[in-house]
């Protein structure tokens, strides 16, 4: 059995900044902080880790668990509107076709491995009708640690019939160096795709097992997955 775990932002879709705008609105509403995300690079981080970073940067203190929950709930209330109104929202090239082909292969399971809160990930994928491809996953709502998120996704795959799943047979697919680091730390196979945060040259420096320019370029990866 093989498992493919997909990052969301910059890998499957770009929301055209909807997530950033939703977090900005949240911090404006709750703490009267404008442009809270201006000093933050969210790429490859979990949502709770991003919220904590904003607290440190802008409020110069830790956030409590209650505050974290309050911020996340407020963010999830404004996110649907930001995603639906985003003029730059798009699905990355070749994604839908790749998911269709991968899903049709025997012994291949597909899930999410993302720093997004689960509800947030579902909102972002809903606009492109991609949620059906991902019956399960690991999320920022499961852990603030990106490699723990991936391990949780793999456990869920085992529960769903992926018994005997080796860690090397888990392919972690993402657009940032942080996705690659997290996958490697979890002992999994790493695939970088240059549709989001970084170009091919920059991603290669992080030494992923595979690099794609985009999913139109993924036939060799599918062969490698089948051979793994
Ligand atoms: Mg990403």
Residues 177, 146: one domain?
yes
Distance, CA 46 to ligand 1 centroid (Å)?
Answer: 10
- Based on the fold, state whether residues 75 and 184 are members of the same structural domain: no
How far, in Å, is the centroid of ligand 1 from the Cα of 179? Answer: 7
My answer on whether 34 and 133 are in the same domain is no
User: Distance from the CA of 149 to the center of ligand 1, in angstroms?
Assistant: 14
Same domain, 100 and 192: yes
Indicate if 30 and 75 belong to the same structural domain. Answer: yes
Going by their DSSP bridges, the two strands 2-6 and 170-174 should be labelled as parallel
Residues 114, 207 within the same domain? yes
User: CA–CA separation, 13 vs 29, rounded Å?
Assistant: 27
Q: Last residue of some domain: 66, 85, 104?
A: 85
- Verify that 190 and 177 share a domain, yes or no: yes
134 shares a domain with 55: no
Cα(138)–Cα(89) distance, integer angstroms: 23
How far is the centre of ligand 1, averaged over its atoms, from the C-alpha of 49 (Å)? 14
Of the candidates 12, 153, 139, 130, the one whose C-alpha atom is nearest the C-alpha of residue 72 is 139
- Interval between CA 2 and ligand 1 midpoint (Å): 22
Per-residue pLDDT of the chain (228 residues; tens, 9 = 90+): 999 999 999 999 999 999 999 999 999 999 999 999 998 999 999 999 999 999 999 999 999 999 999 999 999 999 999 999 999 999 999 999 999 999 999 899 999 999 999 999 999 999 999 999 999 999 999 999 999 999 999 999 999 987 778 999 999 999 999 999 999 999 999 999 999 989 999 999 999 999 999 999 898 899 999 888
Q: Are residues 69 and 141 in the same domain?
A: no
Looking at residue 180, which CATH number applies to its domain? 3.40.50.1000
Q: How far is the CA of 55 from the centre of ligand 1 (A)?
A: 22
189-193 β-sheet, strand order: 137-138, 108-113, 2-6, 170-174, 189-193, 210-212
Domain boundary among 40, 55, 85: 85
Rounded CA-CA distance 147/153 in Å is 10
CATH number at residue 48: 1.10.150
Protein residues placing their CB within 5 Å of the ion ligand 1 = 7, 9-10, 175
0.95 exceeded by pTM: yes
Taking the centre of ligand 1 as the mean of its atom positions, its distance from the CA of residue 218, in whole angstroms, is: 18
The rounded Å distance from CA 51 to ligand 1 centre is: 17
Give distance in angstroms: CA of 176 to centre of ligand 1.
6
If asked whether residues 195 and 173 sit together in one domain, one would say yes
Query: Domain range spanning residue 122?
Result: 2-15+90-227
Are the CB atoms for 17 and 38 separated by under 8 Å? Answer: no
Domain total of the chain:
2
């Amino acid at each position: 059995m093989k498992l493919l775990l997909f990052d969301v932002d910059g890998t499957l879709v770009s929301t055209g900044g909807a997530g950033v705008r939703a977090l900005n609105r949240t911090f404006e509403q709750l703490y009267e902080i404008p442009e809270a995300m201006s000093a933050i690079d969210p790429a490859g981080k979990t949502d709770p880790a991003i919220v904590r970073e904003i607290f440190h940067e802008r409020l110069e203190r830790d956030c409590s668990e209650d505050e974290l929950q309050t911020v996340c709930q407020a963010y999830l209330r404004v996110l649907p509107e930001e995603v639906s109104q985003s003029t730059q929202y798009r699905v990355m090239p070749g994604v839908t076709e790749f998911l269709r082909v991968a899903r049709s292969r025997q012994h291949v399971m597909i899930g999410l491995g993302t720093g997004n809160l689960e509800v947030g990930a579902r909102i972002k994928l809903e606009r492109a009708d991609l949620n059906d491809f991902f019956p399960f996953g690991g999320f920022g709502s499961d852990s603030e640690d990106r490699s723990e998120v991936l391990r949780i996704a793999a456990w869920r795959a085992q529960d769903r019939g992926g018994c005997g799943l080796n860690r090397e047979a888990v392919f972690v697919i993402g657009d940032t160096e942080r996705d690659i680091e997290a996958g490697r730390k979890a002992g999994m196979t790493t695939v970088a795709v240059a549709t989001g945060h970084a170009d091919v040259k920059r991603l290669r420096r992080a030494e992923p097992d595979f690099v794609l320019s985009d999913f139109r370029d993924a036939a060799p990866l599918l062969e490698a997955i089948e051979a793994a």
